[in-house]
Every structure is written in structure tokens, then in C-alpha cells.
Amino acid sequence: MSSEKLKPLEAGDPKKVGGYRLLARLGAGGMGRVYLGRSKGGRPVAVKVIHPHLAEDAQFRRRFEAEVAAVRRVGGIHTVQVVDARADADPPWLVTEYIAGPSLHEAVGEHGAFSAAAVAGLGAGLAEGLMAIHERGVVHRDLKPGNVLLAQDGPRIIDFGIARALDATSQTTRTSVVGTPGFMSPEQLRGREVGPASDVFCLAAVLAFAATGRRPFGEGPIEALGYRVVNEEPDLTGVPEPLLPLIASGLEKDPADRPGLDVFLERCSALAEGGDAPLPEPVSTMIATRVAETEVLAPPPQDAPGNGRRFPPLGRRRLPVAAAAVAVVLLVAFAAWAIEDDRNAPAISKAGATPSQTPTSPAPAPQPSEIASTTDSATPTPTPSSDPTRKAFEKISAGDCLDAYERPSGEWSRSKPRAVGCGRSDAYLKVWKVIDGDLGCNRHGADLDGELWWSYGKEPNEITLCVQRQFHTGDCFLATKGEEKNSVAISNTDLMTSWPCGAGSAPGEYDFVLRITAFTSGACPQGGRRVHWEVRGRTLCARIV
């Protein structure tokens, strides 16, 4: 339950609820006041006492009783566990485990946006928690920064006060508009049926807040926020590039266009792969302070069989996350459409090696005849043993993923290949074969298979990487107009492109920016600005931006 700053009890506050002694005030919400309490065994707990005027409402009592039943079904690493509850008490109350740490809203409000690594670790933890909630047939419906607590051992999702069981007989599930403006999904605001995809939208909005320090749909009156959520695109300026496609796809207006929580868990875990996710130092200090304050008021019991674990050491300054949500410092977050490293190395095209192009004005891909004449007149080619570009090609093996893509100019975005984790959002290509020459890269014999080659050198020392595009939900690529009216045409080269989804228009000779909504063995949603193609025996679903 919420861990706001501890405040002393006031004269009108109860001293005990059920068998739980109250120690301090934690805060208040729409349903009631929350206290820090202590169980008979000495454990700190959060006690929510329902407002008297609500307790007098028979309909609310029934709703509260249903809430308690729903919450008791939920269990998971990143959710807060129910300890006890009495729906028939006067007033009703609910007791959960106490999390000694600030809310995400409080932490970002006081200390600013989180790093890309910390946001990735947060996203993995929250996705795992929501998956546990959904497995019990419950939709949270109000995931927001204030309902995410930052503890020493990972984030926690709290406040299931408006969660509803996915029960077809429940009219409130289908028609109630409940949630927090600015983080609610479009279908919530429209009063339409709400399912797990609504929590995905909320999750993406929460991660955007953590990454930028502001709400993705801005501030203002409830009506204005609601209008923007339903009709306007979110402001994702400042979201780190590795997280941008994932968060943008989670904020799609149509629930069918949003990825599942498994995609969030996989992508965030991959981005955070390799270690603990460091929180900003002031936030770590906030957590340690809350733990210390709690231990003063409710000292942890001595370790004994059945007493469970004690609080972690106060000196810890990093936030460990569960195995499925480990995190690592991202060394660099770059704009994938603009940055090119190793600018002094020879620029590589699919056809072979060429001299460097001017970084600020990429030239069209050279023709083979141009390559031959340029190479003949250039400085003698380094021997294979001293050529850094060749060494980079020799390091690549089948199964590696590369952070390169096709530019509108016809060149690869990098001058030489670099392997990255295949789960990363910038893993655009996967190498399925390394050969001499380029004649062995066509394995499907299809017009559209999303596969090309990347070669370097000249016979007999030519090295070729056979690559295929990795289709990540939320990524955007370029396409042209088809021969038929209002049709969209793509080629294998088009599938290798990447372009910012929020760029507004397609560059050069291209006509469309397409956002990937799914790469599936099933069918794609139809209608609107949606298009689809068969690629490698599966269906690539996209929507015109």
C-alpha cells in the first residue's frame, strides 16, 4: 500500500483497527485514509480505513466486498499482497503488506526523470506485475505513477480499489469510466469495454512519465486531457530512443494495435540485461530513509522460523529487480535515424565498399562501376589483417543481431557491423548466414521475404552477411504508392528501412511511413489505414502513420 511521507496520528484517528495497532498516517484517497500499522507479530502493514460516508452506501459495500475478493486472487513479485480485510466491519477496512518507499510520482516530482536503464527495469517489473494480475482475471484500470511504489527489491503495483474481475455479467466492467485522466486509455474515456490492453496503455503512459518527467498528454482540466488521449498523439519528446518504439506502440488508440505485456517484459528485460538498474541517487536515499523511519516505528521482529525475512540492509543504494526484470546502465541512447559512428571508416553498401560520404549529406548508393573506378584510384586497400572494417565483419557470426538499417539514401546506417542483443529495440537485422560472395543469400525464392545482404571487400576476400529484418511492434519503415489506387507497395529494401514514427512525412521518393502493429501467424485487424503482407510465411501487420 502507498508509502507517502509518514505523519503523526491526529486526535480523531483510531488507535487500532481489527488486531492492528496504528502508528502513523500515510495518506488518503478517494476510498479512505491509509495508516501505517503493526501486526500482532510486529510486522509493518498498511491499513486502509473506508470513509464513513461510503461505508453507509450499500452499493459501495457490495463493490468493496467484490474488490477484496478480486485482490485476494492476485499474487506476484511486483504486486502488494493482501494480509487481512473485513468488508462487514464498521467502517470496512483492508490490510496489505507495507512497502517502505516513495511512489514513482513522488520520486520523479522531486528528482526528475529516470535514466533509460532505470525505466527499462521499471517496465519489466510492472509488466510482470500486471501479467500476474491479468492471470487472475482482473484488470487494474488505474495504473498511474501514484500507484507504483519503489522499494529496495523492485517496484510494486498498488491500489486495486477500482480493479474489476473480467466477468461478462458485470455491467460495471463494461460501462464504468474509472481511472486517472492523462493515464486512462481511450476506451476507458469512451465508456467502452475495458480489458488487459487498457492496462498496457496505462503502463506505456507511466513509463513515458518516468522517462521524461511529464505526462505524455500534458496537463490541464479533465476534459482537455480526455480529448487529447482520445484524439491527439502523445508528446514523447525526450523518451530514450531504445524505448521509444515500445512506448509509442503501447499508446496506440486502438487496443488491437498495442503489444501484449509479454512484449513489454521481453523488450524491457533485454534492454536492462546484465545487472541491477541504478535509480537516481536521491531516490535511493528516499527509499533508505523510508526504511529507517519504518524501523523506528515498527522494528522488524527477530529472525525466527516462520517470521519471514527482515528488511534488506539500509546501506544499499541500488534497486534490485526480479530475475525477469534485471537492468543495466545503457551506455548510449541514440537517434537511430540520425547517428552514424566510425565516420572515418569506409562507408559500406549492400554492393560493396565505397569511400566515406560526407556525414551531413549522405550520397545515393554508388553503382558497381563507380565502386571499381574509385577503388582503383584510391589509397591501396589495407591488408585483411590490418583492415578494421574487415575485422568488424569477421567478428559477426550467424545468429547475431545488428543495430543497422537501410537509410532512404540506399546505404546502411552504420559503416561496419556491430552485434547487439537480439531483444533490443535497435536490433534491426539478424544474420542467418555468413558466406563468401552474395549468391547464397536468397533462401526463400520469394519476392517479399525481408532479407538482403551486406558485403565487404572484393573477391577472393569478399565477406557477405545474409541478413533479415527483425519486425518489432512499434517500429516504423518506409513504403511507396502502389500501382492501384490508394494501395501501398513495399520491397525487400523498403522492409530494411527505419524511420521515426513521429517524423510527420516520408523522405525523398517514399510516400508513406508505416508502423508495425504485429508480425503474426494469425490475421491482422482490418479497416482504416491498416495494411498487411505475407513475409516469410507470416503476416506483417502495419498501419499508415
Catalytic residues: 142
Alpha-carbon separation of residue 90 from 13, 86, 336 (angstroms): 14, 9, 59
**Measured distance CA(328)–CA(281) in Å, rounded:** 15
Alpha-carbon separation of residue 509 from 79, 208, 515 (angstroms): 50, 33, 18
Answer whether the bond into residue 460 is a cis peptide, omega within 30°.
yes
Give burial (CB, 10 Å; 0-12/13-18/19+) of 54.
middle
Handedness of CA 365, 534, 536, 397 (dihedral sign): positive
Alpha-carbon separation of residue 398 from 202, 350, 358, 431, 434 (angstroms): 38, 18, 31, 5, 6
Answer whether the bond into residue 91 is a cis peptide, omega within 30°.
yes
SS3 state at 467 = strand
**Measured distance CA(213)–CA(206) in Å, rounded:** 10
**Beta-sheet strands, E only, within 191-235:** none
Which set of grid coordinates corresponds to residue 236? 514523447
Handedness of CA 415, 419, 420, 423 (dihedral sign): positive
Q: Residue 174 is inside which H or E element, if any?
A: helix 171-175
Do the Cβ atoms of 324 and 128 come closer than 8 Å?
yes
**Measured distance CA(518)–CA(472) in Å, rounded:** 8
**Beta-sheet strands, E only, within 315-416:** 347-348, 353-354, 401-402
Which set of grid coordinates corresponds to residue 342? 566510425
Burial 70-90 (b: 16+ CB within 10 A, else e): bbeebebbbbbebbbbebeee
Angle (CA) 447-448-449 rounded to 5° is: 120
**Measured distance CA(276)–CA(323) in Å, rounded:** 10
Do the Cβ atoms of 154 and 80 come closer than 8 Å?
no
Q: By C-alpha distance, which of 18, 7, 8, 24 is closest to 298?
A: 24
Residue with grid cell 499482497, as numbered in its chain: 81
Q: By C-alpha distance, which of 170, 111, 109 is closest to 144?
A: 109
